[in-house]
Structure 1
Amino acid sequence: MQETGLETNQQKKWEMPDTYVILFAVLLMAAAATYIVPAGAFEREIVDQVERVIPGTYAGTEGNPTGFMDLFLALQKGMVQSGGLIFLVLFAGGAFEVVERSGAIKGGILRAVTKTQGKEFWLIAIVSILFALGGAVGAVANSVIPFVAIGLIITRALKLDALVAVSITFGATFAGFNVGFLNPYTVGIAQSIADIPLFSGMALRLIAFAVIVGATILYTWRYAKKVLADPSKSLVGVSIETSSLDDNLESPFTARHKLILSFVGFSLLFFIFATIQFKWTIDHMAAFFIIIGLISGIIAGMNYNQVALTFLEGCQKLVYGALIIGVARAILIVMENASILDTFVHALSIPLEGFPPILATIGMFVSNAILNFLVPSGSGQAMISMPILAPLADMIGITRQVAVQAYQFGDGFTNSIFPTSGPLMASLAVAGVPWIKWAKWMMPLFLIWCVIAVIMLSIGVLINWGPV
């Protein structure tokens, strides 16, 4: 019997709209709002070389509704105005691709694994810390997916289950990503938009990193101990396949690999120094990633064609995430051209003004967490939320540094539990773990993270956490 077109259509399943589709829909709503929302603006002043909103100065202005061609011009202008950030993301992807292709990252992880055989806790802790550091500096985020397979080999050898494999790879990566103390894609972009020094506020972020990663390791180990003592306690079942770490984790860790990782580590430390001493910016960091990729390729023994092609492949992998920045910027261009962005800031500040600064900060954190369901891109979300959060922070009396971290926590935490997170769903697919099982396992840890975030943000408000 031949299937009719109607039956075919009925069998089609609804799909979650792509991030670009969602952002274009938001762009259309922003354009429609220019005909409805009254235009207005705050007066601004320069304080410590940063332009800040003056509370209580909002006043109506002449509007400029968005025309049909203006809508698409905003997309083009968004790409142009975000050029520095877009190329930062692309060049960082290129540099990290060269480092990863050299085998240095895999070799370093597997060397740590072999050094801790027979010591389950230290194995889980060290592997988790390595992936967390990768997430915190932006070296491993979406690229964690293939490493989940290594986690599976480790956990099978230890007679643990696939949940632990996902936790010590994907989970640990995003535990570090949550704080992002040296992540150019999230904190770097957000601080640039907020007009505060690049990678400032490092000390408090390092403390938060240690606490969040420590909590993640202890939570994972608590579950792992139960499974080791009684495999029936596993939520997904323990594989009966036996394997040897030596048989499955053979990967060289040569002097070149050590030199590459040392070079990258020192380069990132030097960049922190340069941002403080020489006032380096996002543009400097983008250029610096070219240097990192080039020298790493030379150390790895790649010829000039291999370095170029590998760097470009890394750029290609991040084109999707990079161009989101330009699309998100187009939304702001539409609102700025029509003078309605300050109207939204003013409207948001009215209910928050009645709350203590700590509660208002928690509100920022929660709103960004909700936004991440629709825009699961750290850089894209930074472009949408920070132009609103920065002046809003001025209005409610908190520092922009606190606003940046409220955004970062809101974006980072939900990547580990929302089914709209591409890296999460891909990692679960590699491990063969159903999302429902992961959500059940992850929810208590997610709540622990949230408590830590609230405490840290509260401390940030109380100490008036500034740019240094």
Structure 2
Amino acid sequence: MSVPENQQEAKNKKKRKFEMPDTYVILFIVLLIAVAATYIVPAGTFERELVDEVERVVPNTYAQTDSNPTGFMDIFLALQEGMVQSGGLIFLVLFAGGAFEVVERSGAIKGGILRAVNKTKGKEFLLIALVSILFALGGAVGAVANSIIPFVAIGVIIARALKLDAIVAVAITFGATFAGFNVGFLNPYTVGIAQSIADVPLFSGMGLRVIAFVVIVGVTILYTWSYAKKVLADPSRSLIGVLDEGKEGESPLDAPFTGRHKLILSFVGLCLAFFVYATIEFQWTIDHMAAFFIIIGIGAGIIAGMDYNKLTLTFLEGCKNLVYGALIIGVARAILIVMENALILDTFVQALSVPLEGLTPVFAALGMFVANGALNFLVPSGSGQAMIVMPILTPLSDMIGVTRQVAVQAYQFGDGFTNSIFPTSGPLMASLAVAGVPWIKWAKWMLPLLLMWTVIAVIMLTIGVLINWGPI
């Protein structure tokens, strides 16, 4: 006897597994919690003073004041105001996406990577190291992050050619990208936004970040090679089995890398180098960087030989691809607007400062790092998380004796590391799907590396506190 169709549908619905809410849903829930808090949490403020033209919280000046609870219409006005107040940051993300889309569509990135692969055939360690460094640099400057997903397929091709497994494919593409993203010494989406909120000169403190980048990427390459070497010596030691050789006669690593491609990459590299110089010499800001990405996009498109229509549509396609991540900034800002308007943001800062005041600045900085890592499970968006935590960490760092530069890096490490293992990370899960790697197998491989990264982060943050790491 057949089961009626409506009963079968009901059974299927019951069998459906719990689905993790979308980041926007989570942020809206947090917004509603913040609204509820305006009716419960006492309002209060700190006194603030200007020090070297930067507004800082004066410790031990917290005082309660009259409350200002959020009304129904205020919730949606906060969302609109959040978008308006975050306009500069939102357009930075969109324009950066447009510029990098033009560069990627030109074929310069893929051509450069595949040329490096072909040049290092038969030298497995050199190949793994070179590809990993290229993707790590892409993550560090924000050129490759969420857009890493299609490049994982190239990683699979490389791993197949080397008779390795798909874990190596993910490691040298996604893993290397986020090893660079962990530090983000020139990443506009994370460090750039966090420093802007913390009122720290844009991309300042780069020297220590570059050292951390070299160490973290170096450890990542050595760890990946250690695993790859075992699999090369004994394929049975692979966690998921080596990849098959593919179709006979297939030559997927053949791709042009022309003089035009070299010129495009050189142009982009020089532009980014000039921007670093301009932030120091001319005090350029986030707005300058957003405008500069338009120049990069137009210049790269012209060098690539795109006509004006193709260049425009390609740039807009890149903007469109990052609308999801860009608007998160505005939604996250709405949460802060609700707390600021109700005068409860300083109350939260005061509450957090109480347990941290009993800690040394080093342990307080490490506490910020751990807290940001935990938050990333719910808000796996670097820019969105920066908008939520930096307005709290900035005054908190002033009170507990931690420089704002250290607070920025504590946020960056907390966000970056866990992107490589939390299943709420969309780019991670998509990359694993492209390579056919089960999350459990990846987590088993990734956990020791994550612990190594954590040790490096602890050392760097400790050094940052001890040297009073500031804007320089």
Equivalent residue, structure 1, for 2:381: 377
Contact 1:137 1:184 in 2 (8 A): yes
Cα distance, 1:255–1:246 mapped onto 2, change above 3 Å: farther
Kept in 2: contact 1:190–1:404 (CA 8 A): yes
Q: Secondary structure at the match of 1:46?
A: strand
Instruction: Specify the alignment match of 2:37 in structure 1.
Output: 33
Whole-Å Cα distance in 2 between the matches of residues 210 and 240 of structure 1?
33
Does the 8 A contact of 1:376 with 1:415 survive in 2? yes
Task: Please name the residue that 1:151 is paired with.
Answer: 155
Equivalent position of 1:304 in the other structure = 308
Q: C-alpha separation between the residues in 1 aligned to 2:211 and 2:263?
A: 28
Say yes or no: does 1:208 pair with 2:212: yes
**In the TM superposition, what is the alpha-carbon distance from 1:142 to its structure 2 partner?**
0.7
Q: Which SS does the other structure have where 2:50 is aligned?
A: strand
Which residue is equivalent to 1:434?
A: 438
> Offset of 1:245 from its aligned partner?
10
Pick the aligned partner of 2:4 from 2, 5, 27: 2
Q: After TM superposition, give the deviation of residue 312 of structure 1 in Å.
A: 0.2
Shift of 1:241: 2.1
- The change in CA–CA distance for 1:245 and 1:47 in structure 2 (over 3 A counts) is farther
1:199 to 193, 196, 203: 203
- Trace 1:171-186 onto structure 2 (pairs within 5 A): 171-186=175-190
| Amino acid in structure 1 at the alignment position of 2:4 | Q
Could you tell me whether the CA contact under 8 Å between 2:159 and 2:243 is conserved in 1?
no
Spell out the pairing of 1:320-399 with structure 2 (5 A cutoff): 320-399=324-403
Amino acid at match of 1:386: M
Instruction: Give the aligned partner of residue 131 of structure 1.
Output: 135
Of residues 233, 236, 245, the one that matches 1:229 is: 233
Partner of 1:287: 291
Contact 1:154-1:245 within 8 A present in 2 as well: no
Whole-Å Cα distance in 2 between the matches of residues 115 and 100 of structure 1?
21
Identity %: 80
Partner of 2:109: 105
3-state DSSP of counterpart to 2:377: helix
Deviation readout 1:244-291 (Å, 9 max, x if unpaired): 898121100001100000000000000000001011000000000000
Residues 125, 225 of structure 2: 8 Å contact kept: yes
Structure 1 match to 2:120 = 116
Q: Is residue 258 of structure 1 aligned with residue 262 of structure 2? A: yes
Matching of residue 277 in structure 1 with residue 314 in structure 2 = no
Q: How many residue pairs end up in the alignment?
A: 468
What per-residue deviation string (whole Å, max 9, x for no partner) do you get for residues 56-99 of structure 1? Answer: 00001111100000011000000000000000000000000000
1:91 to 95, 101, 105: 95
TM-score, length of structure 2 as denominator length:
0.98
Aligned partner of 1:18 among 5, 19, 22: 22
| 1:287 aligned partner, one-letter code | A
CA distance in 2, matches of 1:427, 1:97: 19
Partner of 1:421: 425
* Alpha-carbon spacing, 1:422–1:72, altered in 2? closer, same or farther (3 Å): same
Partner of 2:58: 54
User: For residue 165 of structure 2, what is the aligned residue in structure 1?
Assistant: 161
Taking the aligned partners of 1:193 and 1:331, their CA distance within structure 2 comes to 15
- Judge conservation of contact 2:373–2:414 (CA < 8 Å) in 1: yes
Structure 1 unmatched ranges of 5 or more: none
- Correspondence 1:141 to 2:153: no
Letter in 2 for 1:298: I
Alignment partners' CA distance in 2, 1:142 and 1:240: 27
Q: Which residue identity does 1:366 align to in structure 2? A: V
Unaligned runs of 5+ in 2: none
SS of the aligned residue for 2:182 comes to helix
- Aligned partners of 2:99, 2:54: CA distance in 1, in Å? 32
Q: Provide, for residues 360-416 of structure 1, a one-character-per-residue CA deviation record: whole Å limited to 9, x for no partner.
A: 100000000000000000000000000000100001001000000000000000000
**Take 1:267 and 1:357, find their aligned partners in 2: how far apart are those partners?**
37
CA distance in 1, matches of 2:330, 2:250: 47
**Partner of residue 247, structure 1:** 251
CA drift of 1:242 comes to 5.4
Of 63, 70, 86, the residue aligned with 1:66 is: 70
1:76-124 deviations in whole A, cap 9, x for unaligned? 0000000000000000000000000000000000111111111000000
- Does the CA-based 8 Å contact 2:329-2:383 persist in structure 1? yes
Letter in 1 for 2:288: H
| Pick aligned residue for 1:403 from 397, 404, 407 | 407
Amino acid at match of 1:39: A
Task: Name the SS of the counterpart of 1:247 in structure 2.
Answer: coil
Partner amino acid for 1:412?
A: G
- Deviation, 1:49, is 1.2
Aligned AA (2:67): G
Which of 231, 253, 267 matches 2:271?
267
Aligned-pair CA distance for 1:42: 0.4
C-alpha distance in 2 between matches for 1:227 and 1:393: 46
SS at match of 2:251: helix
What letter is aligned with 1:12? R
Q: CA RMSD in A?
A: 1.0
1:351 Cα deviation after fit? 0.4
1:457 & 1:349 partners in 2: Cα distance?
Answer: 19
Cα distance in 2 for partners of 1:432, 1:366 equals 31
TM-score (norm 1): 0.99
1:78 aligns with 2:82: yes
State how far apart, in whole Å, the 1-side matches of 2:249 and 2:285 are: 44
- The whole-number CA distance in structure 2 between the counterparts of 1:425 and 1:279 is 39
Alpha-carbon distance in structure 1 between the residues aligned to 2:323 and 2:244: 41
Structure 1: distance between partners of 2:116 and 2:440: 31
Paired amino acid for 1:194 = A
Kept after mapping to 1: 8 A contact 2:45/2:63 = yes
CA contact (8 A) 2:49 2:58 kept: yes
Deviation at 1:7, TM superposition (A): 2.2
- 2:163 aligns to what SS in structure 1? coil
